[in-house]
Chain A
Amino acid sequence: MHIVDRRLNPGGKNLANRQRFMRRAKSLIRKAVHDSAANRSIKDADQGGEVALPTHGMHEPSFRRAAGTGIREHLLPGNKRYIEGDTIPRPEDGGGGGGSEGSPDGEGQDDFRFALSRDEFVELFLEDLELPDLAKRKVTDAEAVSWQRAGYAVSGSPANLALMRTVRNGLSRRIALKRPKADEIARLAAEIEALEADPAHDDDPAIRTRLAELRAERMRLERKLSLIPYIDPLDVRYRRFDPVPKPVAQAVMFCLMDVSGSMTEHMKDLAKRFYALLYIFLRRRYKHVDVVFIRHTHVASEVDEETFFHSPETGGTVVSTALEEMRRVVKDRYDPAVWNIYAAQASDGDNTASDNERTARMLTDDILPVCQYYAYLEVGRDAEHFPPGFMRRDSDLWQTYTAVQRSGAPLAMRKVTHRRDIYPVFRELFQKKPAGAEAGA
């Protein structure tokens, strides 16, 4: 009998099968992911998790008998009341309680829960979305360089001394040149000493010759030792670094929101969902993502997330204050040369009429030039029912921004009234587009 401990064998034997399965079920999983994303809260929007897959999509067919045709027999245990010849009304499922005809691999279930890892989830969730072309331009223009290891050099600064490599070179050189080892010499010395200690060493010719030989040998070795250094300048190596242009791997995301009284909780919720999506998306592309929350009424201020979403505020609506605040923050902390800047503004579309022109000007002159992308999301009331034939007038801000956009600025605008629209709108904004197409609407 053998006992084999297999626990240390590499696990995940099924990874390849799992990947094949996922590829196969991709469209189903994608749909399930989107459905499930709609139902989960923003906080864990980018966590992995379980999705329910309809089994039929992944059906493995086989020749099997259909229920409800011909004559079938069932043999069941646990008879308590029937006698031969009794009749039983046919049960709903038509199976006569028969698990006996159960399909071979338990293929009876409706759905099965399929657990996705976080990466798999996000991958599918954001599949075929990409940052607008603008971002790429910025990446290639990036001026930061990073230093990357690139082998060894024979010259360099002492700080970059490659110790291991130097010692290794030294060792091989010493072996090649047969540099005597310390213990070799010590052994010789010990032998000589032993012979010298012998009282008869002067008289015995054999010992004398031996001693002479040994002394000559020691001399030779010591000479060699002094000629062949332990570490030679030839051995010395330095770590070599090459400069590699580094793409800007950090992004900052500005969340601008109107928090005046006209923004209901529902609208804020819509905005929040959009921000959350944008955040997940940026996180996938950039190592480091900062989020700046700017809320505004007739004055604007930078706040933390909690306040941003939950603290009520009253006042008028002056959008340009928020842009002003954003410009200030950019100027103070986020140099456009090193940061990719994204901004998303959510508003119900109200603005003080006199402010529209100023807003448009600031946007065109100050904000858009430093941004990779600027998205404007106009949130409307849910359950807003308009009488048939009633045309909704475009809001002030919408009209203003349309004018800005018409001049070719990279500005994307969408209207959203229901939670279920958020994701489609988001996808629409970041859909992969053929080269050259503009990112905006």
Chain B
Amino acid sequence: MTVILRADRPLFEGADWDFPLIDRVHEAVEKVGLGELGLSIYPNQIEVISTEQMLDAYSSVGMPLFYKHWSFGKHFARNEAMYRAGMQGLAYEIVINSNPCISYIMEENTAMMQTLVIAHAAFGHNHFFRNNYLFQQWTDADGILDYLEFAKTYIAQCEERYGETAVEHLLDAAHALMSHGVHRFPRRRPADLRSEERRSRERREHEERVFNDLWRTVPGKEKAAEDKTAEERRRALLELPQENILYFLEKTAPRLQPWQREILRIVRQVAQYFYPQSQTKLMNEGCATYVHYRIMTRLHETGQLTDGAMMEFLKSHTNVVFQPEYDDPRYSGINPYALGFAMMEDISRICREPTAEDRNWFPAIAGVGDEMAVLRDVWANYRDESFVLQFLSPRLIRHFGLFNVVDDANESELRVQAIHDERGYRRIQQALARQYDVAWTAPDIQVVDVNLATDRKLILHHRALNRVLLDEKDARLVLQHLADLWGYDVVMKEIDPGTDGVLKEHAASPRAGILQAL
């Protein structure tokens, strides 16, 4: 235990705060966060907002600026009504993955709450955004606000020019397909000239090194005839099969106007920006909660937080990390704060005081001592799915009493497949990991072909994992939007991946005058 230097006096007493205090709090938190925990963060920008502005931010997916669409109005109306009725509190903070990292804090928060929020968002989330590989791969923190600004003005201009209704229909359609408007695998980036040159030089050097004139005399294969069929060529040209439906439409839908393509692109980019967040909810919250817990505890130890503030903090903290059990009326899924925080705590315990079981399960990290180094590595290199698969310890499975239930529509009863016992640990790890795996949770829908020669019908396949079909009503609506965008008939087949048999088929034809010019 390091020697703790006690501060002369606490940062604040009582609930009131002012701007100099926020400054001092940030400084104190920074000292612990960067110094002791070794976080690396984007510069912070802390913005104080009112309740109404928080509601505003809520409904435009937490972004400070966003284009206009009725669905945001709907979310706003619902949030507002629920908030006014007291059914739902507001988040204490919203944090945006941008550089500088913007955290919104509410003016009503107490001084303790502001400290907590700064520790949680401005350091915890901020560190995660900056370091996690998914965010690095998929998002551009430097450019997002500028891009949103562009999107907002562009869409507003389109509304002015082509009418609000036309833009609204397009956005409706694009939003319906938003979940299938992301690239799930990083695409090959076109190489820039310099690296191209380097690669060709290396290739040449390699050829020079291994040059042997003998090879020339060896009879080679006949140069294979161009055996690609016309169909294969077409599919290659259209980049089929394609799972990013919005991308496919943007690039190939025959009847869209340029501005319509640009709007599809905007929706797609926004979806892509949020793609990492949906895959790292558990880790992101776990990381932020762990960080704020460490920082607050340390501030209290050094006398910078009063005992009263600490009590207030603990109350709020325990509320946040509360996990109701499955038969509790309050249960609504696994609380990412609770599980995330518990896993982070568990990892740091394994690093410091491992049991024999831990040594057996986690030989790489058990007893290494420096838990922050391990955690920083975890935060940088995992997403929820791999994180759970790797680090959910038997101890936690027992602690939460996790169990796995299988619901087969062909059977009359549910079956418990695994519980927290020796046989179940691995299976529970896997089952939980799958819950966080987009490849399992999002239906696998791909554009597979287009009848270019005849009626330009677009063909999609849904590979129905475990024979779980799409919700029919919704699928029909979305398909209708898809047909409107495509401009010709669309058919979607639900395929059983086991047998390749078609389970169900949906079809839609475009409505005249909705999106396409008449």
Contacts and interface: CB of A to CB of B under 8 A. Distances in A.
A binds B: yes
Nearest to A115: B81
A347 B412 CA distance: 65
A392 interface: no
B91 to A, nearest CB: 14
B45 interface: yes
Contact of B415 (A2, A13, A17, A87): A87
A83 B412 CA distance: 19
B48 interface: yes
Interface string B62-83: 0000001111111111101110
| Highest count of chain B CB atoms <10 Å: which of A59, A62, A78, A104 | A62
Contacts of B224: none
Interface of A: 1-7, 9, 11-14, 16-25, 50, 58-80, 82-90, 96-100, 102, 104-105, 112-115
A17 B44 contact: no
A72 B418 contact: no
Interface string B384-402: 0000000000000000111
Contact of B478 (A4, A63, A112): A63
Given A11-B52, A73-B435, A84-B418, 10 more contacts: A1-B23, A6-B49, A11-B53, A13-B60, A60-B176, A74-B406, A79-B420, A80-B325, A96-B414, A112-B82
Nearest to A56: B473
B209 to A, nearest CB: 52
Contacts of B23: 1, 3
B226 interface: no
Interface string B148-191: 00000000000000001000100010011111100000000000
A75 B339 CA distance: 13
Contact of B468 (A18, A58, A65, A88): A65
B471 A83 contact: no
Contacts of A61: 176, 473-475, 477-478, 481
B507 interface: no
B414 A65 contact: no
Contacts of A79: 326, 401-403, 419-420
B387 to A, nearest CB: 15
Question: What are the 9 closest A-B residue pairs judged by CB atoms, nearest first?
Answer: A78-B325, A21-B73, A17-B73, A70-B468, A99-B333, A70-B467, A61-B477, A76-B326, A20-B70
B44 A13 contact: no
B45 A62 contact: no
Contact of B333 (A4, A86, A100): A100
B405 interface: yes
Given A99-B331, A105-B75, A114-B77, A84 B468 contact: no
A321 to B, nearest CB: 51
B431 to A, nearest CB: 5
Nearest to B78: A112
Given A7-B50, A21-B70, A97-B326, A114 B19 contact: no
Contacts of B431: 73, 75
A105 B179 CA distance: 12
Contacts of A23: 70
Contacts of A68: 409
Given A75-B402, A86-B416, A18 B22 contact: no
- Considering residues A17, A68, A74, A96, which has the most beta carbons from chain B within 10 angstroms of its beta carbon? A17
Contact of B334 (A5, A50, A59, A77): A77
A24 B73 CA distance: 10
B146 interface: no
A14 B477 CA distance: 27
B358 interface: no
Interface string B474-492: 1101100100000000000
B53 A6 contact: yes
B414 A73 contact: no
Contacts of A82: 403, 416, 419
B47 interface: yes
A82 B52 CA distance: 46
A267 B56 CA distance: 47
Interface stretch (B129-137, B248-256, B375-383, B421-429): B421-429
A72 B406 CA distance: 6
7 contacts: A3-B23, A4-B47, A9-B49, A63-B443, A66-B471, A70-B409, A70-B466
Given A70-B468, A77-B325, A1 B26 contact: yes
A17 B416 contact: no
Nearest to B398: A79
Contacts, number: 270
Contact of A78 (B82, B164, B327, B475): B327
Nearest to B401: A79
Contacts of B421: 83-84
Contacts of A16: 68, 73
Contacts of B107: 7
Given A23-B70, A77-B334, A85 B415 contact: yes
A258 B49 CA distance: 59
Contacts of B76: 14, 17-18, 21
A87 B407 contact: no
B176 A13 contact: no
A62 B178 contact: yes
Residue among B45, B48, B82, B403 with the most chain A CB within 10 A? B403
B413 A88 contact: yes
B434 interface: yes
A3 B46 contact: yes
A84 B467 contact: no
Contacts of B413: 87-90
Contacts of B409: 68-71
Contacts of B434: 73
Contacts of B26: 1
Nearest to B468: A70
B478 A62 contact: yes
B327 A97 contact: yes
A21 B77 contact: yes
A72 B468 contact: yes
Contacts of A90: 407, 412-414
Given A5-B48, A22-B73, A105-B75, A88 B414 contact: yes
B470 interface: yes
Nearest to B334: A77
Nearest to B30: A1
A34 to B, nearest CB: 19
Contacts of A75: 334, 402-405, 428, 431-432, 435
B395 to A, nearest CB: 14
A1 B77 CA distance: 34
Given A1-B43, A69-B467, A87 B401 contact: no
B475 A17 contact: no
Contacts of B325: 77-78, 80
Given A6-B48, A71-B408, A84 B469 contact: no
Contacts of A73: 404-407, 417, 431, 434-435
Contact of A20 (B44, B69, B470): B69
Nearest to B460: A63
A5 B464 CA distance: 50
Contact of B48 (A3, A77, A97): A3
